[in-house]
A = this chain, B = another copy of it.
Amino acid sequence: MTETRWLDAVEMAAWHAFLFAYHRLEKRIEEQLKADAGLTHPQYEILVKLSSLPDHQMRMTELARGLVISKSALTYQIGQLEKAGLVRRTDCPGDDRGVLAVLTDEGMECLRRIAPAHVEVVRKYLIDRITRDELITLTRAMGKANQAMQATG
């Protein structure tokens, strides 16, 4: 057991600012999406992810991994989105185990309608508040962290 390398003041400040900013931003985003579209942030992210694909569809497991949520949470949320008519399930060609989540036209339309207000929040509280340099540095720093977390889930 090595001696603990505690965080110094600068490291602590960064970590706390990061956590605090995320939590507050998440809350704003949730409020906006709920009020304007009756969706949760995870649900919105599912729609965004699907819409970014050429065929607007993706395997359940891959989708869960991409959004960093559990498989069972995704099963639940896809069920909700299916009820709302924004997503539907399809058999996966070539793998009878598989299920494809497919964005419906209605889902795409819904996304088009609500995305502007969402982007507005992201801009207002983060993107438009920081400089281009800070934006790039943020991306690089987060990228390094993501790289470190690449392996094993």
A-to-B contact residues, CB < 8 Å = 4-7, 10-11, 13-15, 17-25, 27-28, 45, 67-69, 115-116, 119-120, 122-127, 129-130, 132-149, 153
Q: A132-B10, A148-B125 are in contact. Are A138 and B68 (CB under 8 A)?
A: no
The contact sample of 9 A-B pairs, CB cut-off 8 A, is A14-B138, A17-B142, A18-B22, A21-B146, A24-B145, A129-B144, A129-B147, A130-B145, A134-B141
Tell me the smallest distance from the CB of A77 to a CB of chain B, in Å: 14
Q: How far is the CA of A143 from the CA of B21 in the complex (A)?
A: 8
Q: Is the CB of B138 within 8 A of A4?
A: no
Q: Using Cβ atoms and an 8 Å threshold, which residues of chain B touch A19?
A: 45
8 Å CB contact of A20 from B5, B27, B122, B146: B146
Q: Using Cβ atoms and an 8 Å threshold, which residues of chain B touch A119?
A: 4-7
Q: How far is the CA of A100 from the CA of B8 in the complex (A)?
A: 29
Q: Is the CB of B68 within 8 A of A142?
A: no
Q: Is the CB of A24 within 8 A of B149?
A: yes
Tell me the smallest distance from the CB of A103 to a CB of chain B, in Å: 18
Q: Using Cβ atoms and an 8 Å threshold, which residues of chain B touch A23?
A: 67-69
